[in-house]
Amino acid sequence: MEQIFITDVSPRDGLQNQALHLSTAAKLELIRLLCLAGVSSIEATSFVSPKAVPQMADAAELLHQVNQAFPALRSSVLVPNLKGLQRAQAAGAKEIAVVLSATDMMNQKNINMSLAAAVAASEQTLRQAKINRLRTRAYIAVAFECPFEGIPPLDRVLALAEQMLQAGADEIVIADTIGAAAPAAVKERITALAEVVPLAKLAIHLHDTRGMAVANAWASLEAGIRRFDASAGGIGGCPFAPGAAGNLATEDLVLMAEHSGFSTGINLDRLLTVVDFAQAELQRPLGGRSSTWLRRQRERRAAGD
């Protein structure tokens, strides 16, 4: 059975836009439950300005605790620039990610930089991270559609991906930041990207704004992608992208993949425990499109025991 690799981004991308701010202890428990469910790669936090994203103000403390509690976990952190990289490495980061938007306006809204300046900052950060012997990821945000400029030219997305690869990114993550992609566009862009980035180094990050995240994940699988971002319970949304709903739910991706002949190594029952915990902490309903059915199955199994 062929394996797919899932990075759960709920502790970072999931929590960064929530009205309720989870304590460091609650975030650590969320990560612990994800590990118990079999998740081996987690985006733990973000070393951005606490003024811009106050939900991530405890990044250094959290990462230190994660490294102590889960030494075998592949944990990554987002850094916006060299200053963020320095803070992350001082806190014990082993893997960092940069985010580069495919349009000028989204970079202005997100990091107050032009596209050209954002490219230069991302390249500089990636190169320094490689010198520091850190594993690296590079996100190409709004790669399918931008809320400010519409659909970015495919040639630009390809050029940005290639630049990030040459700067030292171990993994290029193509992000449907506002959940505007459809399967045909996913296949078209992934097929083209595979000409400039090895498929083994390509990953996809999907949102479910229009209800097509699972369909887009299937289109990605058909195009050869085997690395995915997802978020337990579908928690998420981008604070700088109007209309960006939650992420592709990890439970939806796992269910679809495992019913289609792929292995994920993730236990769905234990994943539901993660969603239940996050739901209680955030005090709002959570769960992917499959969650109601999955919970019914769990109840039936419990009643039969």
pLDDT at 52 over 60: yes
Least confident piece of the model among 51-55, 84-88, 95-99, 217-221: 51-55
For residue 245, the model assigns a pLDDT of 59
pLDDT at 243 over 60: no
Domain count within the chain? 1
Compute the average pLDDT of residues 59-64: 98
Q: Which two tokens stand for residue 30?
A: 């969320």
For residue 74, the model assigns a pLDDT of 97
CA separation for the pair 280, 303 (Å, rounded): 23
**127 Cβ contact list (under 8 Å, min separation 6):** 167, 168
- For 47, the domain range is 2-304
Cβ(230)–Cβ(5) under 8 Å?
Answer: no
For residue 242, the model assigns a pLDDT of 52
At 97, the pLDDT band (50, 70, 90 cuts) reads: very high
CA separation for the pair 19, 281 (Å, rounded): 11
Residue 92 maps to which CATH number? 3.20.20.70
pTM of the entire structure? 0.95
pLDDT at 34 over 70: yes
CA separation for the pair 142, 205 (Å, rounded): 10
pLDDT at 256 over 70: yes
Q: Is 135 exposed, middle or buried (0-12, 13-18, 19+ CB in 10 A)?
A: middle
Catalytic residues: 238
Report the share of the chain in percent with pLDDT over 90.
Answer: 88
Q: Which two tokens stand for residue 27?
A: 């975030």
